């Protein structure tokens, strides 16, 4: 999968428009098929240091100048799915923490509820 930096036009429901720089990903045919959820911020690890940031900024500037602006609408379905998945993962993490903190009686009650839901779903 290839990628580059692209300027993307965002449109708010109230009609406001704004632009931001994102990483855009492409399919085998070279068509955009995804982008970062949030606009890019430039960070580099200690091994790359400030020179890594400078290289990323140079590449981003070159990409932003030579490639046409994309519209966020072409990615909205994928982004909505990604947001849903992120929300589900956060819920799962939260439930794991709560389950970990439960006592034996609460765990037994939870197992009973899960079994009842499975029986209802099967029947």
User: pLDDT tens string for the chain (123 positions)?
Assistant: 799 999 999 998 898 999 999 999 999 999 998 899 899 998 888 999 999 999 999 999 999 999 999 999 888 765 556 666 667 777 777 777 677 777 777 777 777 777 777 777 776
Distance CA 58, CA 101 (A): 49
User: Taking the model in full, what pTM does it have?
Assistant: 0.60
Number of separate domains in the chain: 1
Enclosing domain of residue 22: 2-122
Identify the helix (H) or strand (E) that includes residue 7.
strand 2-11
Q: What is the pLDDT of residue 80?
A: 59
């Amino acid at each position: 999968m290839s990628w580059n930096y692209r300027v993307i036009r965002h449109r708010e429901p109230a009609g406001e428009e704004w632009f931001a720089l994102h990483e855009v990903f492409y399919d085998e045919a070279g068509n955009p098929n995804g982008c970062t959820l949030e606009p890019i911020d430039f960070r580099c690890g200690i091994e790359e240091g400030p020179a890594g940031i400078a290289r990323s900024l140079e590449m981003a500037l070159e990409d932003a100048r030579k490639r046409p602006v994309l519209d966020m609408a072409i990615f909205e379905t994928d982004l909505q799915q990604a947001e849903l998945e992120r929300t589900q993962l956060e819920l799962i993490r939260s439930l794991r923490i709560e389950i970990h903190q439960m006592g034996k009686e609460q765990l037994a009650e939870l197992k009973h509820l899960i079994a009842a839901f499975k029986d209802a779903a099967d029947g």
